[in-house]
Amino acid sequence: MPWKLLAALGGLLPSNTLLARSYPPDRLVSLNYTTYTGTTLSNGVDQFIGMRYAAAPLGDLRWKAPEPPTPQATVQKADKFGNFCLGTGEEMSQGGSEDCLFANLWRPSNASEKSKLPVWVFIQGGGFNSNYSPNYNGSEVVERSGHNIIHINFNWRVGLYGFLAGRNVEAHGNLNAGLLDQLRLLQWVQENISKFGGDPNHVIVHGSSAGAGSVALHLLNPKNAGLFAGAIMESTFMPTQPHKTELEWQYNRLVESVGCANQTAELQMRCLRGKTTEELQQSNRPSPFPGQPSMQSPLWYWTPCIDGNLIPDVPLNMYQRGQFIKIPMIVGNNENEGAYFAANASNAEEVTTFMHSNYPRLAEGELRQMIRYYPRPNPVALHAAWFPSAEQAYGESTLTCPAMHILDAAEKFKGNHGQEGQPSPSLWSYHMNIYDEDYVSRGLGCPHGYEEGIIFGPNSANNPGRYQSPASLYTYNAPLVPVIMNYWISFVRTLSPNTYRHPSAPEWQSWAEKKSGAKLLVRLNELHMEAVPKAQRERCAFWNRMDRSLLA
C-alpha cells in the first residue's frame, strides 16, 4: 500500500540568502603545494571553491595523466569557481576552457583536523563529452546533514581532451585522461582531506550519468580499493566502450582535420599539442562511426576505451565474473532515461537506424528482435508515434539495464574475492518516477538527470545554460526534497540510507528483499518499495544475452 508522504518543507534555504563574510586568518588550510583561504557562509558552512587539484593540462600536458599543481608560496583565495572543461561541439564563448582541473569543497565551519568527518565526492555527468553540471553549490547538503559531512565536486576533462585514443596517444601520452583526472582528485582527497577535517578512510564516491559510469569503471580496478568506502551510482551511463585498437580511425580523422597528418607519430603528437584550443575545438565534433550507411552521428563520439589498464576488459563482463571492488552501494534510475536522447522516430525503421548509429555492431537480426521487445507504445505529447519505443530502447540498453546488471552482480558476489555468498544488506536501489506537469506536457516524463536538484537541493545548481533544477521542486514536489536528501546524506554518513532517514520516511529495503530486485519508488505521496517488473527483466535479459562487445 503506497506510503502517504507527510514530509515538511523545512531546511530549504535559498543559496542566495547565504551571506559570505571574510574568512578568518586562523582558518587558513595549508596543503603541500599552497595555502588556501575560503569564505564562511551564514549557515555555518565554510566554502573553498576553485582550488587546483592538478596542474593545468595545457600544451605538453594535453592527453597526459594529470600532474600535481604548481606550488604557490602566496596564499590563494578559494572564493571563485574555476573554469569548467570544454566539451564536444561547444563554442569557446560558452565559457569552457582546457584549464579546468578545479575542485570545490564545503565543510562545517567548526571542523578541525580532529573532526574526521565523512566525505562525499561527486563526479558530474555529461556523456563523457561535457561538464553538464559543473560547480554545484554543496553548502545545502552540508547544512542538511547537521554539519556532519564534507562535500566535494570538481571538473574533469571530457570529449577530445579527455578521451582521444590511438597508438600514438598511448605511446606519447595517456589514454582515458578524463578518468585519470577523476583518480587524481580521489588521490588529492586522500592526501589533503584530513586538513579540512575529513576522514580519508570514509570517502563516498558518487556519480550521475557519465559520473556514475565512471564510478562503475573505477570499481573494476583493485588498485582503487583504498580510495572510497561506498558508492552511489545514479543513472549509470554505459555507452560504446571500444578497445583501444579499434579507435585509430578516430585519431586519424583528427590529425587530418587539423593538419597534423603526413609526419612521424611523435611529430603528429607534437603538432596536436601545438594547436590552439580554438583550432582543436573546430574538430571537437561528432561524426558517424565507420561504415554507417545512415551517416547519422552517434550521441557520444568520445568515450572511455578498454585500455587494459584503467579498464582491463568489457566492463559488464567483468561485473558478471565478479571482478570488481565490493562495497556498499546505492544504484538506481529514472523512469524515462532516454527521453532527452532518443530519435523522434515515426516508424520502426527509424528506431533501428537510431540504435545502430549508436551501437554499430548490432546486426540486422538483433535490431529486428529489439523491435519485438520495444513495439509501438502509447504516444506521448509533442513527439512522433515511435519516439517512446526509441526512448525506452536507448534508455534501458545504455542506462537502466547496465545498472541492474551491476546490482545483480553485487548481490551475487560477496566479500573481497568474488565468491558467491548470501544476499548482502549493503545494496539499495531506487526508481524515480516523479510526476512533473512541465516535463509530462513536453513528452519527457521523468527524464535523465531529474533527480540532481532533489539530491543536492533545488538551490544547488549554478549552471546558466546547463542543468537547472525543475521548477516543481519549489512548489508541489518540494516535500520530496528533504526526504530524499536525508537518505543520501545518511548513506554518506553511515553507509546505510536508513540510519538518519527523514522521520516520516519508510525504511529503504535492500535489493535482495524481492526476487526480481527491490527498488524504492520515488514519487510524491507514493514512496514505497516495488519489485522490478517482469517485462523489464525480460528486456534487460535480451540485452544481457548478447555478447557485451556488441554494445562496446
Q: Rounded to an integer, what distance in angstroms lies between the CA atom of residue 20 and that of residue 482? A: 24
Q: Is the pLDDT of residue 33 over 70?
A: yes
Catalytic residue among 145, 209, 235, 389: 209
pLDDT band per the 50, 70, 90 thresholds, residue 21: very low
pLDDT higher than 70, residue 456: yes
Q: What is the mean pLDDT of residues 48-74?
A: 98
User: Do residues 207 and 234 touch, judged by C-beta distance below 8 A?
Assistant: yes
Whose cell is 516535463? That residue is: 439
pLDDT band at 461 (very low <50, low <70, confident <90, very high): confident
> What pLDDT does 241 receive?
87
Average pLDDT estimate for 272-285: 97
d(CA 386, CA 403): 25
Mean pLDDT of the chain: 92
The answer to whether the CB of 178 falls within 8 A of the CB of 77 is no
Taking the C-alpha atoms of residue 453 and residue 390, their distance in angstroms, rounded to an integer, is: 26
Residue 337 appears among annotated catalytic residues: yes
**Is the pLDDT confidence value at 425 over 70?**
no
pLDDT of residue 424: 53
What confidence score (pLDDT) does residue 92 get? 86
Which of the four pLDDT bands, split at 50, 70 and 90, describes residue 459?
Answer: very high
Q: Give the tens place of pLDDT for each residue, 175-204.
A: 999 999 999 999 999 999 999 999 999 999
Ordered structural domains, the chain, with CATH: 36-327 (3.40.50.1820)
Q: What pLDDT does residue 294 have?
A: 77
48, 138 contact by CB (below 8 A):
no
Is 209 a catalytic site residue? Answer: yes
Q: How far apart are CA 432 and CA 330, in angstroms?
A: 13
Phi, psi angles (nearest 5°) of residue 179? -70, -35
- Comparing C-alpha atoms, which of 147, 146, 119 is closest to residue 46? 147
| Residue for grid cell 552501494 | 329
pLDDT at 529: 98
Q: Which of 59, 73, 16 is nearest to 41 (CA)?
A: 16
How many whole angstroms separate alpha carbon 510 and alpha carbon 286? 41
Of 6-15, 276-285, 415-424, 495-504, which gets the smallest average pLDDT?
Answer: 6-15
Read off the DSSP letter of residue 70: P
- Whether the pLDDT of residue 489 is over 60: the answer is yes
Q: What is the C-alpha to C-alpha distance for residues 115 and 343, in angstroms, rounded to an integer?
A: 50
Contact in structure between 376 and 389 (CB atoms under 8 Å): yes
pLDDT higher than threshold 80 for residue 6: no
* Exposure b/e, 21-36, CB count within 10 A at least 16 = b: eebeeebebebebbeb
% of the chain exceeding 90 in pLDDT? 87
Residue 67: phi and psi, rounded to 5, are -105, 160
User: What is the pTM for the complete model shown?
Assistant: 0.94
With H, G, I as helix, E, B as strand and everything else as coil, classify residue 35: strand
Q: What is the arithmetic mean of pLDDT over 279-307?
A: 92
Helix/strand/coil for 75: strand
Please give the pLDDT value at position 104.
Answer: 98
Q: Give the confidence band of 550 by pLDDT, cuts at 50, 70, 90.
A: low
Q: Which of 98, 143, 234, 337 is catalytic?
A: 337
CB atoms within 10 A of CB 213: 29
**Which of 454, 545, 532, 471 minimizes the C-alpha distance to 5?**
454
More confident residue, 133 or 119: 119
